[in-house]
Amino acid sequence: MTFSVTHAERDDGQACLRLAGELDMSTAPELTAAIDRLARAGERHLLIDLTELTFCDSTGIAAIVRGDNRAAAEGGWLRVTGASGRVARVLQVTGLADVLAYRADTPHPASPSRP
């Protein structure tokens, strides 16, 4: 499955990135670039929707952690939501479910647009 990152603005004005496909060594730079673009645009609070993510390896986890570290360094936060199956398991096993305040039931964002 092809990986994609789409940017959506939630109804509450919060930035959200929707990930779909497989987040791995070959696709993690795309996520990092999207997070960096939003940070440069002044976004300090970011929700990453993993509902359509089917796989995530250690490089993908590292990209998410890097985004969280950047947000925290700039006085903000990064949160994840919507993971299921293997992706949810990876978040639980690595401890990121707790660190990133993972909630499977966070409301989904409004219509997507490109970052």
CATH of the domain at 31: 3.30.750.24
Angle at 3 between CA 42 and CA 98, to 5 degrees: 60
- The boundaries of the domain holding residue 44 are 4-10+21-107
Answer yes or no: is 98 within a domain. yes
**pLDDT band per the 50, 70, 90 thresholds, residue 89:** very high
Answer yes or no: is 112 within a domain. no
Entry pTM: 0.84
**pLDDT band per the 50, 70, 90 thresholds, residue 10:** confident
Question: Residue 3 phi/psi, 5° resolution?
Answer: -85, 140
**pLDDT band per the 50, 70, 90 thresholds, residue 104:** low
How many structural domains comprise the chain? 1
Strand pairing report for 45-56 and 15-23: parallel
